[in-house]
Amino acid sequence: MKKAIIIGASTGIGRETAIQLAQQGYEIGICARRKELLEQLQSEIQGTCHIMSMDISETEEAREKLASLINSMGGVDMIILNAGIGIPNADWKGEEKIININVTGFASLANFSFEYFRTIGKGCIAGVSSIAGLRGGSISTAYCASKAFVSNYMEGLRCKAAKENLDITVTDIIPGFVDTPMTEKQTRTFWSASAKKAAGQLISAVVSGKSKGYVTKRWVLVATIMKVMPLWLLSKI
């Protein structure tokens, strides 16, 4: 039986990913800060589901908890790093929180995941970045920068795996707008996908070993435009 851990599984894409992987026969481990939401999800899943309450901004504790969860599951084949926050028009305290979770917390667990799979000789890592990480943004400056970090860190791990000839796939999941608690207060959205559809495309990208997976696929067009958009136009968005 395949085994997967989803970090950031209490709501949105992570929650739906856990449900769909369980439906596909995976033994799963789910992690998030709010234990009550994990227990609720666990009760809805048919099949073996392990839970671990985890605050990824507490990096050393989070790494220890991930190691404990992997051990209790008898090893895993896939780790999906979905935890993250966004705070529009954040002050410094808000930006600091974004950086602690989306950058430091993410890197800590991505590093741990890579070293774990290097030890056992194979595995799959997926990190959820964002279309927002392709360029800077005036409304969510720290968030855009943090998601650019996620994509570049994942690319670095992919290069490391290739250089060392390791059987480790590293997939950067790049969502556009998805109907989740993070986006429910945003008014300027388009092409918004359900969490169910986003999770399905995430799983497909990871299982097929893709280096990048846009969610949904139509966001490839937006990414192409954003990469060449002049600053004067970008600043008006």
CB 27 within 8 A of CB 2: yes
User: Where is pLDDT greater, at 163 or 233?
Assistant: 163
**Measured at the alpha carbon of residue 126, what is the angle toward residues 115 and 55, in degrees to the nearest 5?**
75
Q: Which residues in 83-98 are b (16+ Cβ under 10 Å) and which e?
A: bbbbeeebeeebbeeb
| pLDDT tens profile 173-187 | 999 878 866 555 555
Give dist(CA 55, CA 160) in Å, integer.
27
Per-residue pLDDT reduced to its tens digit, 54-69: 999 999 999 999 999 9
DSSP single-letter state for residue 105:
I
Specify the CATH number of the domain 3-234: 3.40.50.720
Tens of pLDDT along 87-127?
Answer: 989 999 999 999 999 999 999 999 999 999 999 999 999 99
Q: Between 142 and 232, whose confidence is greater? A: 142
Q: What is the pTM of this model?
A: 0.91
Cα 63 to Cα 79: distance, rounded to the nearest angstrom: 13
Residue boundaries of the structural domains of the chain = 3-234
pLDDT of the residue at 139:
83
pLDDT, the chain, mean: 92
Whether the predicted pLDDT of 237 surpasses 70: no
Structure tokens, 180 = 């989740």
Active site residues: 143
Mean pLDDT for 145-160 is 97
